[in-house]
Amino acid sequence: MKPKTVIIFILLVIFAIIFIVATSWSKITYNPALNDSKPKYVCPKTEYIDCMPSIDRGSQQEKICNDKEYLNWAQINCPNFKGIAY
């Protein structure tokens, strides 16, 4: 093979690898339940979570207050957590 042909072949292989990685990378999703090194939940920093209704609909606080699975987990796993407050 001629050196020029080898270089073109190598560049095509590199381009193909980059294309495959780039197109499949967007399909990768992170699932915290499958990653044991990072916990799915974190204990609240305070004894009570303030669940007083607010104007800010869809806020992170509102999501936490409506997440029954998280609240059950916190009751079981967080010794300082006493519950939600309205």
26 and 54 in a common domain: no
Which structural domain range is residue 12 located in?
1-30
- Specify whether 4 is located in the same domain as 42: no
Q: Are residues 42 and 79 in the same domain?
A: yes
pTM for this entry: 0.51
Claim to verify: residue 85 and residue 51 sit in the same structural domain: yes
- Claim to verify: residue 49 and residue 64 sit in the same structural domain: yes
Model confidence pLDDT, tens digit, residues 50-85: 888 877 777 787 888 888 999 999 999 999 999 988
Residue range 8-26, pLDDT digits in tens: 888 888 877 776 766 655 4
What domain count does the chain have? 2
Residues 14, 52: one domain? no
SS3 letters across 12-81: HHHHHHHHHHHHHHCCCCCCHHHCCCCCCCCCCCCCEEECCCCCCCCCHHHHHHHCHHHHHHHHHHCCCC
Phi, psi of 61 (to 5 degrees): -60, -45
